[in-house]
Structure 1
Amino acid sequence: KPMWGEWRVRVGNRAWVTESILEPSVDDTLSADVIPGDMDIQRMRQQGRVGIYISVIPERENLRKYDTAGNLCVRRVIGVVGIADPIEAESKSTVSALQRMGVDVWMCTGDDEVTALAVARAVGIDEANVCAGVKPEGKADLVTRLQKHERQGPGIRGRHGRRDKRTRNRHQRGRVAVVGDGINDAVALARADVGIAIGAGTEVAVEAADMVLVRSSLHDVVVALHLSRVVFQRIRMNFVWAMGYNMLALPFAAGVFYPWINWRLPPEFAGLMMAFSSVSVVTSSLLLRAYHRPKIQEDGRLETASWCGSFTSELQIKRQSRHGGKVYSGVELDDENHPGKVYEMSAFEIV
């Protein structure tokens, strides 16, 4: 408790400053009769600013003044400083992209509810998915509740109002990823299934996380999720291919047709077929080296790259272009070397 002469000074949030009120005769709700301009403070919160309260209380009894009713006349709070944590430019597009990918986005913060809701509206998070005024252990408890899919209580139902289909049918626990950069996020990062720390965050958060975004860009959260899905899809494809190939090739290499046609596969060819199974899977996995990070549009759509160039997902681009007296119907590529070039193709599939 810092001292300023004969006065005790407190600087902090609303709840912490309220603890300095000792006399029950004084309004401890920090309303307009204790804080001048309380309506301005409310307007400041609605703008997404955090209020830092400054209270000054006399320590010695001879410095305290009371009115005829016995109430302390010395003003408890002498000022409120509004601090705004600027919203990153890519925050809204990141939230939109995650929602398009089927992710239920939540915001858990220690700020007051009015400020948290203002920020949530600015970035596109559902107000039902906002938990404000939460302490570090409360963030970890929220992660546990989401993992168990406890949908009771305010602010616990998801944006789409339904659970994941696999979780609903098979009673699986929810998968929760937490993105944070501060000391207060360390407990939640450690308890989450996937903890993602911002590279410019505190060392405690980086140590507690499973993944660290080196560039400190929120878009990398979407890229990490997109890359993980691409890798997992390739793993499943390799598994299906290897199982199908072995189920068909092994009987053939073992001579299943020998009783009928009196012919069997030479050993050298059987060895080649066995090696081809492993080589094909490894080659398929190496194709992931050609992965290109998607570009995230302002509305959250992902512009992914493929063999034919980059195109915007969920948006089929068709263009009729005349070049050399011929008409081509295809997709206009975002290519610096060939701007405006149109490749002829009949159809394409977005993965």
Structure 2
Amino acid sequence: MSNAIQRRFALIATVLTLASTTVLPAVAAEFPERPIRIVVPYSAGGGADTLARVIARRLGTDLKGTVLVENKPGATGTLGAAAVHQAPADGYTLLLGNSATNAIAPAIYDHLPYSPLKDFVPVAQLTTLGNAIAVNPSLPVHNIKELVAWSKKAANDGSYGSWGEGSGGQLAMEKIKADTGMKMAHIPYKGTAPALNDVMAGILPVTMADVTGVGPFHQAGKVRVIAVTGSKRAPSMPDVPTVAEQGIPFDTDSWFALFAPANTPPRILAALREAVARVLAQPDIPKVVLNFGMNVSTITPDEFAAVQRKDVLTWAQLAKASKVKMD
């Protein structure tokens, strides 16, 4: 970890420590009195689950308590998010949210049972990451320009996959299609893995995939990643240029973050923020996160709240432009 990043984490931790000790320090010092639960709105074994368990273990050690992970998948992550929204706002139930649950969802669901901005408060942004455009290695495509040209040939099967209808992968690809004139139909899959399997088998020519899931297949030569979304290149695939580097004005990052229900007591929220800041400042965390294809976040909760507000607007514009709706 660079000295600059270490200094930034130290500053965040110091500010949060001061905040937590200026309001009822005796009560804050007693937290937690029982196990904390982190709800992951996806199945066990995926990138969200793996990240949550790393954070939970270290957060429990830091707080000298128990932090459990509970998987509650369903409805593209909104089922688990809704459960946390309905939980008591006491700091003992947290959400491992991401761009899908806490930025994209209001753009594609007319009857979402929670408001990402009103019903949750950020504890911390944990990581940022991009998504990847992966093709079968036999495809004569090595960049977006070549993909656009290939898609316009009538003889080709101009279709692409993503991990679901209304997913960030679909919205990002629809943005690329609109900007380039690319002609490809969307095929929604129930997750990244089945879409990647079909690309490797030659059944599906192209798919959007999360960087975490596609990295090992790219490195093994089983798929070819031609671009990644987000503001920077994926640490696990530094040779792959971003979409923005290839002339497409789209640099919105995907992210994972911890959220608490709105109205969580300020002293409890401050204690959680302080503890998470210390966890993210641990020297080996950047390398651990790098193995997942992610970048550790270095911004404050307030800075992240501003990012989230901006992302909600960005994804809403993309969903409207692509006419994507789930209900």
Tell me the TM-score normalised to structure 1 length: 0.20
Q: Which has the larger radius of gyration?
A: 1
Q: Determine which structure has greater relative contact order: mean sequence separation of CA pairs < 8 Å that are 6+ residues apart, divided by chain length.
A: 2
TM-score between both structures, scaled by the size of structure 2: 0.21
